[in-house]
Amino acid sequence: MSSSQSFDRSSVEYGRGVSFFDAIYGFAITLLVTNVDLPAAEAWQSPAGVWNSGIVGQLFGFLLSFVVIATFWRVNFRYMSAVTRMSPRIVIWNITASFFIILLPFSTQGTSDPATAGLPLPTALYALNIALASLSQTLLYLSARKHGQIPSMQRTGPAQTLLHLTVPAVFLASIPVIFLAGPVPGRLVWAILVIASPVAGRYIVPAEPPPAGTAAAQGS
């Protein structure tokens, strides 16, 4: 694909691009289950044995990252449903985001493994991983808006740009908390998104492309 070449939504190339990135999200979310270790045979003799085996923390890490990757895929699906053309710029930002998405099973292992879950560094790397993935998706959207690849009746102003940065800002802000106060207080910072994300989402949902006949009808 040359620097000036792009493909519209009806082209095979556009479909191949979206399918490729969808497969990466699906592969990453499937890999999460490999972080769950089966407890030893003796642990299955009682519920307490299973609980103390460390599998509960691993299952929580699996569930958390499952939701995270599924949310990232939903955001990507929403953005790509509004993008009118598959350009080299869109491909590059998608590949960048996919790089950080596929690292999530690795960073999840550090935060959910009983031997490392209590250490600050694995949790900080997990937060950084999510922040960079989210930032890549944000730059994908903002780049597409800047170059007219997402039709919208609204202009992208500084306030809306800041709303897009809510998720990476929260995870980056949690990193010093993790190192100063520990992993658990740092993870509590992430809970801010329970309130912040829905509020921001009301203002940054991409406008859907207008129906094909709308422009012609208005011009007549």
Asked if residue 174 belongs to a domain, the reply is yes
Higher pLDDT among residues 11 and 157, named by residue: 11
Between 94 and 42, the more confident residue is 94
* Token reading at 131: 């922040």
- Tell me how far apart the alpha carbons of residues 131 and 169 are, in angstroms, rounded to a whole number: 7
Highest mean pLDDT pick, 12-16, 197-201, 202-206: 12-16
Which pLDDT band, with edges at 50, 70 and 90, does 212 fall under?
A: very low
3-state secondary structure (DSSP) of residue 85: strand
Across-strand partners of 85? 8
**pLDDT at residue number 201:** 57
| pLDDT confidence tier of residue 50, bands split at 50, 70 and 90 | confident
Range(s) of the domain holding residue 65: 7-210
For the chain, give percent helix, strand, coil, nearest 5.
75, 0, 25
Q: For 69-110, how does the pLDDT look when each residue is reduced to its tens digit (9 = 90+)?
A: 999 999 999 889 888 889 999 999 999 999 999 999 999 999
**178 lies in some domain:** yes
pLDDT at 19: 94
Does the pLDDT value for residue 198 go beyond 80? no
Does residue 37 form part of some domain? Answer: yes
pTM above 0.75, yes or no: yes
Residue 5: per-residue pLDDT: 79
Model confidence at 21, in pLDDT bands (50, 70, 90)?
very high
pLDDT at 214: 42
Among residues 134, 126, 123, the alpha carbon closest in space to that of 180 is found at 123
Report the domain count for the chain: 1
Residues 220, 13: Cα–Cα separation, whole Å: 33
pLDDT at 68 exceeding the cut of 90: yes
Residue-level pLDDT at 219 = 45
Rounded-to-integer distance, Cα 8 and Cα 109, Å: 39
N- to C-terminal Cα separation, the chain: 37
DSSP conformational letter for 206: P
Within a domain: residue 76? yes
| Domain-located, residue 56 | yes
Q: Are 44 and 50 in contact (CB under 8 A)?
A: yes
Residues in the chain, overall count: 220
* Domain membership flag for residue 72: yes
Confidence of residue 218 (pLDDT cuts 50, 70, 90): very low
**74 assigned to some structural domain:** yes
218 assigned to some structural domain: no
Query: Which of 39-43, 141-145, 176-180, 202-206 shows the highest mean pLDDT?
Result: 176-180
Inter-residue contact 123 to 186 (CB < 8 Å): yes
CB 93 within 8 A of CB 143: yes
Yes or no: say if 168 and 127 are a contact pair by the CB < 8 Å rule.
Answer: no
Mean pLDDT estimate for the chain: 84
Angle CA 194–176–160, to nearest 5 = 45
